[in-house]
Amino acid sequence: MLVALTGGIASGKSTVARRLAELGAVVVDADVIAREVVEPGTPGLAAIAREFGPNVIAADGSLDRAALGAIIFGDEAARAKLNAITHPAVGERSRALFAEALAADPDAVVVYDVPLLVNERGEGRAEEFEHVIAVSADEQTRVRRLVELRGLDETEARRRVAAQAPESARLAIADIVVDANDSLEQTLAQVDEVWATLRTVRGRA
């Protein structure tokens, strides 16, 4: 079973992913892959340097994420250019990992932890997955978490939330929704229920 897990910044998606891994899912993290495909010496990093200039490369030859972030947040055209470089490489690597996991255990539940499953126009990869789980939290909750837990000021927090696809786009493609607005305990209880449902469905497949 191949399941997509998506959610906006500070929605609680990473918490849900960790819980699913604890319960037995094989979690493939798109953010981890995204870092791998822009490591020093990769074609991805070379393409980013050509597109955005040498200032986005740190002294040690690695990607200066803060410098790149300052360029792309709030600039839709710049984000589109970055995505055109990284998304094909991330997609290719993620599919290889799905295949490896399912070859090792055909009964596995493989969860793809991916924030950018869908864009603001509703375009994405949802059709590749048997289920799509969306972790949902309202804008104010996400802004508060970014301020309190990540140290951003409110203006920057709102800018980062606004830079992503709207909540409605994620909810439109989801067949399972985890409401992460309330306490951690309530969120985890929902995840446990989702896991039980997935395993039941998998057992009947």
Q: What is the mean pLDDT of each run of 10 residues along the chain (205 residues)?
A: 93 96 96 94 95 95 93 86 91 92 93 80 72 94 94 91 86 93 95 93 59
pLDDT, position 75: 86
What is the pairing mode between strands 110-113 and 131-136? unpaired
pLDDT (0 to 100) of residue 199: 85
Written as six digits, the tokens of 43 are: 């074609």
Detail the DSSP E strand segments found in 66-155.
110-113, 131-136
At the top level of CATH, the class of 2-25+109-200 is alpha beta
Q: Where are the domains of the chain?
A: 2-25+109-200
Pseudo-torsion of CA 55, 61, 66, 68, nearest 10°?
50
Query: How do beta strands 2-7 and 131-136 pair?
Result: parallel
pLDDT score recorded for residue 87: 87
From CA 135, how far away is CA 191, in angstroms rounded?
10
Q: Which residues pair with 111 in a beta bridge?
A: 3, 27
Given this model, what pLDDT does residue 202 score? 65
Whole-angstrom CA distances from 24 to 20, 44, 60, 92, 105 are 6, 32, 38, 24, 12
Q: For the whole model, what pTM was predicted?
A: 0.84
Residue 201 confidence (pLDDT): 75
